[in-house]
Structure 1
Amino acid sequence: MTYVAADDRYDTMTYRRTGRSGLRLPAISLGLWHNFGDERAWQTQRDICRRAFDLGVTHFDLANNYGPPPGSAESNFGRILATDLAPYRDELVISTKAGYYMWPGPYGEWGSRKYLITSLDQSLRRMGLDHVDIFYHHRPDPDTPIEESMTALDAVVRAGKALYVGLSNYNSAQTAQAAAILADLGTPLLIHQPSYSMLNRWTEADGLLDTLEQVGAGCIAYSPLAQGLLTDRYLDGIPADSRVRTSVFLNESDLDEPTMATVRALHGVATRRGQSLAQLALAWALRDPRMTSLIIGASSVTQLETNIAALDNLTLTDAELTEIEGHLGAA
């Protein structure tokens, strides 16, 4: 059956302006990191993407190495574009990244002009696109001059392969330097994608949001649920199919007793608010208006719908914020 997007898809989603740019992003974006590789059922991936768009999620976030295997998330998303979303391409913001290991040899990772431009060309072929909306340098390269990496980002915009450029995993000082170079080149930094959650607050100590505000860029956080720790999933132990058992990004040592005591306390706050713990974590991460969007993953349509419902109650009282801070400070 031919997919037709919901007529009311823009009625309930919250959109936030990205820094000082003219681009607005949904407050919750869909990330295709863990659940869109070849080991996952393609029809489930398709159902998630279609439902996300029906709920007003216009932004789909990828990277060259997402899978597994690397590249498969882009290929699978390309199939979904071809079968369902192509008629709505102009309503979508599609982003991808390059920086981590993608292919063997000296040109398959980091930040050289050779790698970044070649990687984007590969990503476009996998997705069947002539351009992406946002192209990120996925991590800073300690050995390549930052000028070379930023010049490559500028080049892909001038070549029509990307509309905007972003950074990911850069600290505040690196971001300020990169933004200044990009501004001189005439391709301003649109957005930064750091990790951020109740249990991972490095950006606050680093002053990243202040730097982004100064340079006019937005912020979109990944892992706002701390790889699933900030959900109800581990309150009663470790399920056999959980990320602790199946992923290298979360392990049993992350679920130590002090951390789980904090998680249980936060769950109590969420319950009193009539929310799930995940919904509270998302509302908390969006409390600063400079946070443009959050990237969430989804393994099912139900999980997607439940997390997007966090937007129904984003208001946190001063008392709630103080209580949450107390629990986090004790972690």
Structure 2
Amino acid sequence: MKSPRRKLGLSDLELSPVGLGCWQFSKGSNTIGKYWDTVEDNEMQEIVKKSLEGGINWFDTAEIYGKGASERGLAFALDNLEVTFDEAKIATKWWPALRKASNILHSIEARKDALNQRPIELYQIHQPFSFSSIDKQMEAMSKLMRDGHIKNIGISNFSEKAMRKAHASLQNYGSPLISNQMKYSLLDRRIESNGFLKTAKELDIAVIAYSPLEQGLLTGKFHDNPEIIKGSSGPRKWMNKFKENGLQKTAPLIKVLQKYAEKYGVSVSQVVLNWMIYYHGENMFVIPGASKVKQAEDNAGAMSFKLSEEELEDISEASWRVQLY
């Protein structure tokens, strides 16, 4: 099955429904970067290579991921692999904390340098807490687009109300808002019940779902062997969802996922990602991370089959019974 492509929102940007989230490329730099174990350059390059070979054609990174370390590492890997600009699309994000909208304009050259002048296909406001208004932020983003620094504009973690404001503001400046990146998974379906997803579809704004595997919980590996959480990186070992009671609560969903994984000869994580990219149609994209080559291959393999409508609904029903949020 050929890897699918779909347009991101109202743009002409054609992306694979599964991209690669690159937070784990932070090299352990700054507080955000220390969340994951360090991925060495050779491993990073192999992860990027396997992602591309599997049909993934875009990578999501951010300024805050190791103070640009993720951007630099991604660009280094792509350059070493001699990947063309057309073969690999890059999305990155501006960090708004303690900043005004004017910084969007002042810091763009640093982002371009970190990416070794690879085109920024999608530039996103990472969080909705800048000192400046949404309108001022969108005005700055629109100027970047008009001046040719970026090709498309997105946001991240903006609520339904804030998304509407950003969309309306950009319309005034003649630029479309094409995406909003939000946490979404089979265990966290709040965007379906709070009006967010409905509004995104109404406005033709693509949803980019991060943490689709709930930091590995939805792979089933912690259910099969609860002891491995003790050796995992980051704060997961202290989260309730990884403790015995949390694992027991979500076990019924894992059993359903395992059933379909066995049927299709794929992994549980591939069933999860397949559900994510097909259950809501063309405006849903996912960006699982990968700190190991096998995980990159797994991510890409999620596009190699398609669950039936009945199977998608069966998983959905099992999911609603074990929500964590």
TM-score, normalised to structure 1, is 0.85
Farther off after superposition, 314-323 or 154-163 = 314-323
1:237 is aligned to 2:226: yes
302 and 142 in structure 1: CA distance in 2 versus 1, 3 angstrom threshold: closer
The corresponding residue for 2:307 is 315
Match of 1:26 among 7, 10, 16: 16
Amino acid corresponding to residue 140 of structure 2 in structure 1:
A
- Which amino acid letter does the alignment assign opposite residue 265 of structure 1? P
Match of 2:106 among 83, 100, 118: 118
**1:69-218 paired onto structure 2 within 5 Å:** 70-86=67-83, 88-99=84-95, 101=97, 106-107=98-99, 112-129=100-117, 131-141=119-129, 143-218=131-206
Unmatched 5+ stretches in structure 2: 29-37
CA contact (8 A) 1:227 1:250 kept: no
User: 1:257: Cα distance to partner?
Assistant: 4.2
Runs of 4+ in 1 over 4 A off after TM superposition: none
State how far apart, in whole Å, the 1-side matches of 2:104 and 2:176 are: 18
CA contact (8 A) 1:64 1:74 kept: yes
Offset of 1:249 from its aligned partner? 6.3
1:166 aligned counterpart, secondary structure: strand
CA distance in 1, matches of 2:92, 2:322: 37
Q: For 1:128, what is the secondary structure of its paired residue?
A: coil
Matched, 1:289 2:288: no
Structure 1 residues 200 and 141: CA distance shift in structure 2, 3 A? same
Structure 2 residue identity aligned to 1:60:
F
Change (3 A) 1:176 1:238: farther
Flag the 1:241–1:30 CA change in 2: closer, same or farther, 3 A.
farther
Residue equivalent to 2:59? 60
Moved more, 215-224 or 312-321: 312-321
CA contact (8 A) 1:232 1:276 kept: no
Q: How far did residue 324 of structure 1 move?
A: 4.4
Could you say what secondary structure the match of 2:183 adopts? coil
1:14 alignment partner in structure 2: 4
The verdict on how the C-alpha distance between 1:72 and 1:302 changes in structure 2, with shifts beyond 3 A counting, is same
Q: TM-score normalised to the size of structure 2? A: 0.86
Tell me the residue number matched to 1:265.
Answer: 252
Q: Aligned to 1:252, which of 239, 245, 254?
A: 239
What is the aligned partner in structure 1 of residue 42 from structure 2? Answer: 43
- Of 17-26 and 256-265, more deviation after overlay is shown by 256-265
- Deviations along 1:187-236, one digit per CA (max 9) or x if unpaired, are 11111111100111121112222212222221111110011111133111
Alignment match, 1:4? none
Q: 1:55 & 1:176 partners in 2: Cα distance? A: 35
Distance 2:87 2:305 in 1: 26
- Sort the Cα spacing of 1:316 and 1:300 in 2 relative to 1 into closer, same or farther, 3 A: same
In structure 1, the gaps of 5 or more residues are 1-10
**Aligned twin of 1:299:** 291
CA pair 247-120 structure 1, distance change in 2 beyond 3 A = farther
Partner SS for 1:96:
strand
Distance 2:312 2:41 in 1: 41
Aligned residues: 308
Change (3 A) 1:189 1:44: same
| Residue in structure 2 matched with residue 228 of structure 1 by the alignment | 216
Inter-CA distance 322–77: structure 2 relative to 1 (3 Å threshold): closer
SS in 1 for 2:152: strand
CA deviation digits over 1:134-166, x for unaligned, max 9?
A: 100011126421111111110111121100000
Q: Contact 1:36–1:45 at 8 Å: present in 2 too?
A: no
Offset at 1:20?
3.2
Q: Which has the higher contact order (CA 8 A, sep 6+)?
A: 2
- Name the CA distance, whole Å, in 2 between partners of 1:217 and 1:301: 31
Aligned-residue offset at 1:92:
2.3
